[in-house]
Amino acid sequence: MNFLNEVSSLFPSAVSLASGRPSDRFFDRLNPQVLLNAVNVYQNDSVGGHGGAHGWAHLLQYGRTAGIINELVAQQVQCDEGVPASADRVLITSGCQEAVALCLPALCPEPSDVLLVCNPTYIGAIGAAKATGVAAAALSNSEPCLADAIELAVLQLRQKSQQARAIYLIPDFDNPTGRVLDADERRNILQVCARHRLVVLEDNAYGLFRYDGDPVPPMAALDEVGSVIYLSTFSKTISPALRVGAASLPDTMFGDAAARRSLWEDLVRRKSFVTVNTSQIAQAIVAGLLIQNGGRLGDWIRPALDWYRENRDIMLCELDSVFSPFSDQIRWSRPSGGFFLTLDLPFRFGADCADECARRDHVIVTPLSFFALDNSQDCRIRLAFSAVTPEQIRTSVTGLGHYVARRLEQKLLRLRDGGARG
Ligand SMILES: Cc1ncc(COP(=O)(O)O)c(C=O)c1O
Specify the CATH number for the domain of residue 403.
3.90.1150.10
The rounded distance, in Å, linking the Cα atoms of 99 and 260 is 16
pLDDT tens column, 69-98: 999 999 999 999 999 999 999 999 999 999
Tally of domains within the chain: 2
Instruction: State whether 201 and 244 are in the same domain.
Output: yes
- What's the whole-number average pLDDT of the chain? 94
Instruction: State whether 312 and 276 are in the same domain.
Output: no
pLDDT range class, residue 47, cuts 50, 70, 90: low
The rounded distance, in Å, linking the Cα atoms of 295 and 290 is 5
Ligand 1 near 240 CB (within 6 A): yes
pLDDT given for residue 3 in this prediction: 73
Domain end (from 267, 292, 317): 292
Ligand 1 near 174 CB (within 6 A): no
Give mean pLDDT, residues 285-297: 96
- Among candidate residues 80, 61, 100, the one with its CA nearest the CA of residue 246: 100
Does residue 413 register a pLDDT over 90?
A: no
Q: How far is the CA of 192 from the centre of ligand 1 (A)?
A: 26
Does residue 1 register a pLDDT over 80?
A: no
Do the bridges between strand 199-203 and strand 90-93 make them parallel or antiparallel, or are there none, so unpaired? unpaired
Q: How far is the CA of 177 from the centre of ligand 1 (A)?
A: 14
Which DSSP state fits 349? -
Q: How far is the CA of 97 from the centre of ligand 1 (A)?
A: 6
Does residue 418 register a pLDDT over 70?
A: yes
pLDDT given for residue 37 in this prediction: 96
Ligand 1 near 95 CB (within 6 A): yes
Instruction: State whether 7 and 93 are in the same domain.
Output: no
Does residue 53 register a pLDDT over 80?
A: no
pLDDT given for residue 54 in this prediction: 63
Instruction: Examine residue 199 and state whether it is found in any structural domain, yes or no.
Output: yes
User: pLDDT: is 345 or 51 the higher one?
Assistant: 345
Residue nearest to atom 2 of ligand 1 (CA): 205
pLDDT given for residue 202 in this prediction: 98
User: pLDDT: is 262 or 326 the higher one?
Assistant: 262
Instruction: State whether 156 and 250 are in the same domain.
Output: yes
Does residue 422 register a pLDDT over 70?
A: no
Give mean pLDDT, residues 27-55: 83
Cα distances (Å, whole numbers) of residue 369 to 19, 134, 139, 199, 377: 15, 20, 15, 26, 5
pLDDT given for residue 46 in this prediction: 64
Instruction: State whether 338 and 243 are in the same domain.
Output: no
pLDDT given for residue 415 in this prediction: 80
Ligand 1 atom nearest to CA at 174: 1
Amino acid residing at 344: D
CATH of the domain at 141: 3.40.640.10
Give mean pLDDT, residues 153-159: 97
Does residue 30 register a pLDDT over 80?
A: yes
Q: Which of 121, 172, 233, 237 to mutate to test ligand 1, by most ligand atoms within 8 A of the CB atom?
A: 233
Does residue 411 register a pLDDT over 70?
A: yes
The rounded distance, in Å, linking the Cα atoms of 128 and 213 is 32
Main-chain phi, psi angles of 324, to 5 degrees: -60, -35
Q: How far is the CA of 205 from the centre of ligand 1 (A)?
A: 6
pLDDT given for residue 59 in this prediction: 92
pLDDT given for residue 49 in this prediction: 61
Instruction: State whether 129 and 246 are in the same domain.
Output: yes
Contact call for residues 189 and 147 (beta carbons, < 8 A): yes
The rounded distance, in Å, linking the Cα atoms of 349 and 343 is 11
Instruction: Examine residue 26 and state whether it is found in any structural domain, yes or no.
Output: no
Does residue 421 register a pLDDT over 80?
A: no
Q: How far is the CA of 99 from the centre of ligand 1 (A)?
A: 10
Instruction: State whether 215 and 241 are in the same domain.
Output: yes
3-state DSSP call for residue 113?
strand
Instruction: State whether 273 and 407 are in the same domain.
Output: no
Main-chain phi, psi angles of 166, to 5 degrees: -150, 160
Instruction: State whether 277 and 332 are in the same domain.
Output: no
> Nearest 5°: CA angle at 312, between 311 and 316?
115
pLDDT given for residue 94 in this prediction: 98
Domain end (from 245, 267, 292): 292
Does residue 52 register a pLDDT over 90?
A: no
Domain end (from 254, 269, 292): 292
pLDDT range class, residue 420, cuts 50, 70, 90: low
Torsion sign over Cα 294, 295, 297, 300:
positive
**Segments forming the whole domain that contains residue 8:** 2-20+301-421
Instruction: State whether 279 and 308 are in the same domain.
Output: no
The rounded distance, in Å, linking the Cα atoms of 184 and 298 is 25
Ligand 1 near 97 CB (within 6 A): yes
- Class of residue 273 by CB neighbours under 10 A (exposed 0-12, middle 13-18, buried 19+): exposed
pLDDT given for residue 48 in this prediction: 61
Ligand 1 near 170 CB (within 6 A): yes
Q: How far is the CA of 100 from the centre of ligand 1 (A)?
A: 9
pLDDT given for residue 45 in this prediction: 79
pLDDT given for residue 251 in this prediction: 97
pLDDT tens column, 190-248: 999 999 999 999 999 999 999 999 999 999 999 999 999 999 999 999 999 999 999 99
Give mean pLDDT, residues 263-286: 97
Ligand 1 near 245 CB (within 6 A): yes
pLDDT given for residue 55 in this prediction: 77
> Nearest 5°: CA angle at 94, between 86 and 136?
90
Ligand 1 atom nearest to CA at 98: 11
Which DSSP state fits 143? S
Give mean pLDDT, residues 338-354: 97
Residue nearest to atom 14 of ligand 1 (CA): 20
Angle between helices 146-159 and 183-195 (to 10 degrees): 20
pLDDT given for residue 297 in this prediction: 97
Ligand 1 near 203 CB (within 6 A): yes
Instruction: Examine residue 25 and state whether it is found in any structural domain, yes or no.
Output: no
The rounded distance, in Å, linking the Cα atoms of 293 and 177 is 31
Ligand 1 atom nearest to CA at 21: 14
Torsion sign over Cα 384, 389, 394, 399:
negative
Do the bridges between strand 163-169 and strand 199-203 make them parallel or antiparallel, or are there none, so unpaired? parallel
- Among candidate residues 121, 113, 62, the one with its CA nearest the CA of residue 271: 62
